[in-house]
A and B are shown apart, each in its own frame.
Chain A
Amino acid sequence: MTTESIALPGRGEGIVRTRGFGAVSGRVVVWIVLAVFGILSIVPMIWLILAPSKTGQQLNDNPPFSFGSFEQYGVTWNNLLSQNDGIILKWMANSVTYTASIVVISCVTAVLAGYALAATTLPFKRVLLIITLIAMIIPPVALVVPLFVEISAIGLYDNPASVILTSSFYPFGVFLAYIYFSTSIPTEIYEAAKVDGAGEFTTFFRIALPLSKGLFGMLAFFSFSAAWVNYFLPYVLLQSQENFNLSVGLGFLFTSSPALNPQNGAQQSLIGRPEIALASLLLAIPILIVFIASSRLLVRGVLAGAVKS
């Protein structure tokens, strides 16, 4: 953030000098709009954090932003654990394993491919780049049914590997890496290394890789945010409850417990609305932490830095 505030002190100075009544009231309106949008953005998160501290009854009767008790968080958690012998723990572990595998495979393949496109002699480079761009713009959801057809045909249905492998295809990462290696690092460096007798791999590992820590951060950020909340693909590719990730598991709690669906009321279940809220919170918190920790990455570069050449 420091570089930014040094770089931009000039903004708004002209306005300060000519500030009249109109300008001041204009500023007030701007601040109100920005603040209201900020409040609307965090209200649901505050609600979600408070909800598991209350019993289902308190959730109904007490004001939306009231706090129950810290003990109730424990009670809610234990209720959640009661579901199918603590399957929530399995879902969380699955989410961690799947996401970690996807981040590693997707980032490594993307960095290698981006480098190959940017700095090596690769046949059909333009065609490969165009296919990558098309694949990057198509939302992953569009391929879910085709992937299901294929995965069933090769016998990987209900196998966690199906989710990990299909989600590791990361054309956006390849594009980011390609732009990074072709703009942020001067091509003369690669050429100099090759003149000195270094092969493609030596150049990559000795020269390019040490210069791409920032790139890895950005790739991992986007890969993580997509993989952690992945819903439709695992929902379609996985069948057994013990293979679900947290996102699909939460959807399952949603549709199978009486919490939100009174028609399931006949079942004996401890899963009520506070328990569902706690599971949602467990899904939201890791991604929130990663977002906030990476907010600096998001400011520069995602589009402007990536595409400006």
Chain B
Amino acid sequence: MFAPYLILLVLFGILPIIQATITSIGPSIVNPAGGLQNFADVVADVRFLPALMNVVVFLLMYVPAMIIVVSLMSLLLDTVQGRWNLPLRLTYIVPASMTGATAVLIWYFMLEPSLSPYRDALHALGITQGNQIWRQGGLAWIFVAMAFFVGAGNWIVVQYGSLQSISEDVLEAARIDGANAWQIGWRIKLPLIRKYLVYMGILVFAAGLQVFVEPQLISGSVYTGIAKDWSLNQLSYDLAFQSNNLAGSAALSLMLLVVCIVAAIVVIFRTDFFEGTGVGKK
């Protein structure tokens, strides 16, 4: 019964990693001798450090923004039970349907001062030209906004679900002890869903590390080349498909993959998220 899944796991989970490892130490166009020098070559590539910095800045804004806003919004949502709760949740899910190319299109229009529904707000901020927003150096903000917009609503609804698992007795006891709504949220509900928030933080981090679609599409459409090789994954893609350096591309992918695997192992063995599932920390 396990066999069909095991075949997929081996073929598309494990073999690609082995294959990529072999490729990554094979001869490349810049290094015919192959070996670990391929990894060093990628790191020494002039595009590597800027891309790494971009992704680090992106993550430093994106991960905390997600954790803070999702915690706050799910706690607020939890305080308003009743008939407006469901409609609110439904509106929060809507942006998750606009991913990838759709998100890029939407944000192009939302941020273009001459076309945007928010044009008054943009003008008030002194932004009257698209190129005041779309400029190198300020792009991380835009990609954070895009990724945040697509992901936050769904996570708010998911974490609202986590809050529903808190026993009513615990909350009632706190109220009897005189805790107000703010104290209940901050001191009781938040610690109780902490592990779900940590889990979300790590998934968001792992996904953010791989940012690709938004910069790639912006760079290929509206503002040609503005975000070329902006992220590490774009660099990996360019190495494979533009520079004809598949070994370098595989090497870079493996480095990113190792970071994700480490993050995964941390969640599994160093947090209590998988407690009771037969694998995690006892």
Contact = CB atoms under 8 A, between A and B. Distances in A.
A111 to B, nearest CB: 9
A141 B212 contact: yes
B246 to A, nearest CB: 7
B257 A143 contact: yes
Contacts, number: 322
A153 B20 CA distance: 11
A98 B21 CA distance: 29
A112 interface: yes
B94 A41 contact: yes
A7 B149 CA distance: 32
B105 A276 contact: yes
Interface in B190-209: 196, 199, 202-203, 206-207, 209
A120 interface: yes
A299 B162 CA distance: 8
B274 A4 contact: no
Interface stretch (A70-78, A79-87, A184-192, A246-254): A246-254
A14 to B, nearest CB: 4
A45 B95 contact: yes
Contacts of A35: 88
Classify chain B: how many residues form its interface, as a range.
35 or more
Contacts of B53: none
A236 interface: yes
A10 interface: yes
A41 B98 contact: no
A129 B101 contact: no
B23 A149 contact: yes
Interface string B153-190: 11001111110110010011001000011100000000
Interface string A131-164: 1111111110111111111100100000000000
Interface residues of A, number: 117
B40 interface: no
Contacts of B164: 4, 8, 299-300, 304
Contacts of A263: 224
Interface string B69-96: 0000100111111100011111111111
B172 A141 contact: no
A69 interface: no
A283 B267 contact: no
B46 to A, nearest CB: 20
B25 to A, nearest CB: 13
The 8 closest A-B pairs by CB, nearest first: A113-B5, A146-B20, A146-B16, A304-B165, A137-B264, A14-B175, A145-B253, A255-B220
5 contacts: A43-B110, A144-B253, A236-B237, A300-B164, A307-B274
Interface of B: 1-2, 4-6, 8-9, 11-17, 19-20, 23, 73, 76-82, 86-102, 104-106, 108-110, 114-117, 119, 149, 153-154, 157-162, 164-165, 168, 171-172, 175, 180-182, 196, 199, 202-203, 206-207, 209-210, 212-213, 217, 220-222, 224, 233, 236-237, 240, 246, 249-250, 252-254, 256-257, 260-261, 263-265, 267-268, 273-274, 276-279
